[in-house]
Amino acid sequence: MPDSALEIAGLLTDRRVIVTGGLGFLGSNLARLVAGAGARVTIVDSLLPRAGGNRMNLEGVEGAIELLVGDVRDEEMMRGVVAGADVVFSLAGQPGHLDSMVEPYADLEHNCRGPLAVLEACRHSAPEARIVFASTRQIYGHPDYTPVDENHPVRPPDVNAVNKFAAESFHRLYGEVYGTSVCILRLTNTFGPRMRIKDDRQNFLGWWIRLLLEGRVIEVYGDGTQARDLTFVDDAIRAFLLAATCPEAGGEVFNIGDARGTTMLELAGMLVGGGRRGSFKLVPFPEERSSIDIGNYRTDITKIRSNLGWEPLIPLELALDRTVAYFADHADWYL
């Protein structure tokens, strides 16, 4: 199996690849790489204001990727879109945990019915396609132990995580009953170029970067000792490509993370350091966030390392440098 993301993407040359949510952060980075490797890529994105889709994420590659603005819940449309597909990256959804608690029915539609509609479309029009579904480590809730492996009990702490786990269950069911080829990746705090930074609805690190670039103080909740894994987008994309191309990935669920467990204080220090001017302070945890916070989290990546040969390659400090540099050059596209 090739090692680099570009080499793995080369296995999809001339293949028909669908990316739902492809104008978003992860989807656009994935689509750009796969199209650059010679795949025939179609993006489906609804461009819902709070979902993160951004046309500028395809800047410079518009001619290489087919873009369809539409909702994956449109059954007739999706059957036509996925017809003849070899790989479907199912990334469309509503990623905000707080938003899910305020608007639970909307979250149900986007994070449960949406992925189910993609599965149904593939069952009818692309039964041989490999479907790679983007799930979240949030489904584990507050960990009983760390590092967290795939056998950890599932206790979703918010509506978003409940619906993500339901969508996972649909994927497993379709694999068992209909023979659909699926793979599920549970992501943890993915960050990098093209992520949403205009607010803190989706990714606290994106919001921190905006504050840094604007010369504002970064607010770290609580005592700052809570740990998180962070996954640079380049490493995450390599995991998605392995999930799409490795026969061993069929029917499996894998954790994705850096297995490092960096505290919020450490991360804030890295972000304002490295020659960058910035500052941070500790502030009390907002009640609406503390009620769904998972506490300390560190990922066990033993399974995906053993089965697919994946592990993170980009050091966190370098990944932060690349991300800040990108937004320093392109902030007007994302604010």
Distance, in Å, from the CA atom of 94 to the CA atom of 159, rounded to the nearest integer, reads 11
Domain spans of the chain? 5-194+230-259+298-316
Give me the pLDDT at residue 291, please: 73
The H-or-E segment that residue 90 falls in is strand 87-90
Give me the pLDDT at residue 2, please: 62
Distance, in Å, from the CA atom of 154 to the CA atom of 312, rounded to the nearest integer, reads 24
Task: Report CA torsion sign: 99, 291, 191, 185.
Answer: negative
Tens of pLDDT along the chain (335 residues)? 566 898 999 999 999 999 999 999 999 999 999 999 999 999 999 998 777 899 999 999 999 999 999 999 999 999 999 999 999 999 999 888 888 899 999 999 999 999 999 999 999 999 999 999 999 999 999 999 999 999 999 999 999 999 999 999 999 999 999 999 999 999 999 999 999 999 887 789 999 999 999 999 999 998 999 999 999 999 999 999 999 999 999 999 999 999 999 999 999 999 998 778 899 999 988 877 777 788 899 999 999 999 999 999 999 999 999 999 999 999 999 98
Distance, in Å, from the CA atom of 294 to the CA atom of 141, rounded to the nearest integer, reads 5
Distance, in Å, from the CA atom of 171 to the CA atom of 154, rounded to the nearest integer, reads 16
Distance, in Å, from the CA atom of 238 to the CA atom of 246, rounded to the nearest integer, reads 12
Residue pair 132/183 in contact (Cβ under 8 Å)? The answer is yes
Residue pair 97/138 in contact (Cβ under 8 Å)? The answer is yes
SS (H, E, C) the chain: CCCCHHHHHHHHCCCEEEEECCCCHHHHHHHHHHHHCCCEEEEEECCCCCCCCCHHHHCCCHHHEEEEECCCCCHHHHHHHHCCCCEEEECCCCCCHHHHHHCHHHHHHHHHHHHHHHHHHHHHHCCCCEEEEEEEHHHHCCCCCCCECCCCCCCCCCHHHHHHHHHHHHHHHHHHHHCCEEEEEEECCEECCCCCCCCCCCCHHHHHHHHHHCCCCEEEECCCCCEECCEEHHHHHHHHHHHHHCHHHCCEEEECCCCCCEEHHHHHHHHHCCCCCCCEEEECCCHHHHCCCCCCCCECCHHHHHHHCCCCCCCHHHHHHHHHHHHHHHHHHHC
Classify domain 5-194+230-259+298-316 at the CATH topology level: Rossmann fold (3.40.50)
- The DSSP letter of residue 29 is H
